[in-house]
Chains A and B, each alone.
Chain A
Amino acid sequence: MRMESKMNLFNEEYREKLLQSDYINGSEILLRSLLLEGVDCVFGYPGGAVLYIYDAMHGNKDFNHVLTRHEQGAIHAADGYARATGKPGVCLATSGPGATNLVTGIATAYMDSVPMIIITGNVATSAIGSDAFQEADTIGITMPITKHSYQVRDVEDLPRIIREAFYIASTGRKGPVLIDIPKDVSSNKTNFKYPEEIEIRGYQPNPQLDMRQVENLLKAIEEAKRPVIIAGAGVVHSGAHEELLEFVNKTQIPVTTTLLGLDGFPSGHPLSMGMPGMHGTYTANTAIQNSDLLISIGARFDDRVTMKLDGFAPNAKIAHLDIDRSEIGKNIKTEFPCLGDIKAVLALANGTVKPAQSDEWINQIMKNKQKFPLKYQDDDQVLKPQYVIEMINETTGGEAIITTDVGQHQMWAAQFYKFNHPRSIITSGGLGTMGFGLPSAIGAQIGNPNRLVISINGDGGMQMCAQELAICAIHNIPVKVVIINNQVLGMVRQWQEIVYEERYSHIDLSGSVDFVQLAKAYGVKGLQAKTKEEARCVWKEALETQGPVLIDFVVPKEEVVLPMVLQGTTLSEMKMEG
């Protein structure tokens, strides 16, 4: 489906029409407000408590709604849309089970600071608390996994709440905001009035930059001999990739990019060292361990990055640029805090920053990059998973949007796909949500109709949201759905092999489904490859196919993701060989 926006917000006449103070019900108010916020697609699933809302959609040509096959599909699709476009993703579900089916997706978005608006129906205000049919305490359940939430008790409050929700979701440290709408609120009528301006007391999304903090950072850089930048998701969220590139070029500091920051800095840049952490590159991890100044730019020192904290970057002073004050110093003592929007901080710093004294350091890093590249044991007779990712990378030149599921294939995609542009990797980093890969690709494609979107999955996660293949077929959403099929839960197998002395417990997925037939059953073209030659051949066919394609790459189960730092050890203790 070509999800071309059916309305044009710049069309003043249309906007005026939406803003008219008509006497309408809560559902119509909701739709108008969403249109006024520039929403061009809502992912959802109807049910009893949202019937008025779906009734208002009926015959409304301005409003785009994608009916997924599961609420989990809807929320991950909205998440993929948000990550790929930077605009809040919007998701709609009914009360009770509809809302609880969203929980995993809300937590996924919350962990990765993705702007989302989640609208749930609820039983009528008079029935709340009576254990009515399909009643659940959605606000209570989602409280710890939302940036904020509202239960609308009066239709009069609805426009303001929607306006606030969009503002909160998309400013400061972004995140999901939930609006719970009881059924009577969606049916009660009032005169529509959309607030032009809102003021939320106590909410300061953009902290005032502290010049002293920036000056201290710049001074520390000037004096540093072995500086390292860890760039994270904050760079992408803030739209600061250009400022980061300028900052790196001016300071000559080598950069490692976290899983969610892989697309914040061009991977082909000479100073790019790849990903740090558990499956990070030798160069990045070694640089961190030897560094004297470690500058986090929108990265939150996640445990998969730091590994054993006591022993992480033992010789480095820590600098941290972040928009969220609570992240600075949360996991690691920070000598140079720098609070603010990363784009603004870097733009300011770029005005006066001087290079670090890092020539010798850079030489050493260049040597490491040459001597210890990411590698795998290729084999002419066997189709290796890493080979598949390399092939995808070569044939798309790093220009595709890649969504992944969670597990080994995710790490191989992170290692072997070379990202060049922001908003190109869409992956569940913080929560590690299986089932995310396919629906997020649908959302990413709808948000970017003209870009190539490739969803890379394992055979485990693929079966957690496979029902959304229907959406690809029905709306002709041309996602290329790749399955790295090793017939096991590969990452669990890898841990069981290395940590649990090869006691393989409940990881065998062989014989579960014929993915090619599954694709066909949904009306999606299905291809399979078991050799390198077949892989090249079917991948070419997939890229030449106009619509959606599923490609099942059958690979051996014995491959492990390397390097690997075992839990409880430091980044200095990398396992380099299988």
Chain B
Amino acid sequence: MENQKTISLLVKDHPGVMQRITSLFTRRGYNMESITVGPSEETGLSRITIITICDESQVDQIIFQLQKLMEVFEATLLRPKKTVTSELAFIKMNVEPNRYGEILNLVEKNHATVLDIGSKTMIIQAVGDTERIDEIVAQLTPYGLCQLSRTGVMAMEK
């Protein structure tokens, strides 16, 4: 999306940090499409990726406000052309065994992976950028998609 911006944060891994960040977005009426968090290369620090939809002037304001949070050590806007992004999706299918073959074909064609096969359900893992995941989900939906869980986007500048 044109106005989609990716913000990368390096934060102190401390109770309440996520709340400070999400509270800032709520209070100031900023949009948050997704947020992912996990440990960074440094012990005690986490890296957070936020996807937001806003215009150029507002994204600067968001970054400046984030930088004011004491537990945010770095807040940077990632440049789209120099950034790789990816997300992970788990897709649970409710399918009759006689259609497994078709689904496995789709999985293979899309470079996805099957994590679990049960008597009536199947869990598929897909990795890729947002458009890729959207595409896989669209292809699988007609076969009886019953649960979808996506991590949200992770991003890193080259």
Contacts and interface: CB of A to CB of B under 8 A. Distances in A.
A329 B57 contact: yes
A500 to B, nearest CB: 28
Given A202-B74, A329-B57, A143 B19 contact: yes
Interface stretch (B33-41, B62-70, B107-115, B127-135): B62-70
B16 A148 contact: no
Interface in B17-61: 19-20, 23-24, 27, 57, 60-61
B20 A143 contact: yes
The residue in A139, A140, A326 that gathers the most chain B C-beta atoms within 10 A of its C-beta is A326
B60 A329 contact: yes
A333 B61 CA distance: 12
Interface string A147-182: 110010000000000000000100000000000000
Interface string A190-212: 00000000001111000000000
Contacts of B16: 139-140, 143, 151
Given A140-B19, A143-B20, A326 B70 contact: no
A324 interface: yes
A326 B74 contact: no
B72 interface: yes
A326 B23 contact: no
B68 A324 contact: yes
Interface in A296-339: 324-326, 329-330, 333
A202 B44 CA distance: 14
A261 B147 CA distance: 58
Contacts of B70: 147-148, 168, 200, 202-203
Contacts of B12: 201
A144 interface: yes
Contacts of B20: 143
A148 B68 CA distance: 10
A89 to B, nearest CB: 20
A144 B61 contact: no
Contacts, number: 36
Contact of A330 (B19, B23, B24, B61): B61
Contact of B23 (A143, A151, A325, A329): A143
A329 B61 contact: yes
Contacts of A144: 23-24, 27
A137 to B, nearest CB: 10
Task: For chain A, give the interface size range.
Answer: 10 to 19
Contacts of A325: 64, 67
B72 A326 contact: no
Interface string A128-147: 00000000000110011001
A203 B72 CA distance: 9
Contacts of B72: 202
B158 to A, nearest CB: 24
Contacts of B57: 329, 333
Contacts of B64: 325-326
A455 B57 CA distance: 42
A245 B60 CA distance: 33
Nearest to B28: A144
Contacts of A139: 16
Contacts of B61: 326, 329-330
A265 B67 CA distance: 32
A143 B68 CA distance: 13
A329 B23 CA distance: 22
Nearest to A140: B19
Contacts of B73: 201-202
A129 B16 CA distance: 14
A151 B20 CA distance: 14
Interface in B98-153: none
Nearest to B65: A326
Contacts of B60: 329
Contacts of A147: 70
A31 B24 CA distance: 33
B19 A326 contact: no
A154 to B, nearest CB: 13
Nearest to B63: A326
A151 B95 CA distance: 50
A140 B26 CA distance: 14
Nearest to B70: A148
B48 to A, nearest CB: 14
A352 B73 CA distance: 36
A325 B24 CA distance: 16
Contacts of A326: 61, 64-65, 67-68
Nearest to A148: B70
Contacts of B65: 326
A326 B57 CA distance: 11
Given A168-B70, A200-B70, A326-B68, 5 more contacts: A144-B23, A202-B72, A326-B61, A329-B57, A329-B60
The 5 closest A-B pairs by CB, nearest first: A326-B64, A202-B73, A148-B70, A144-B27, A325-B64
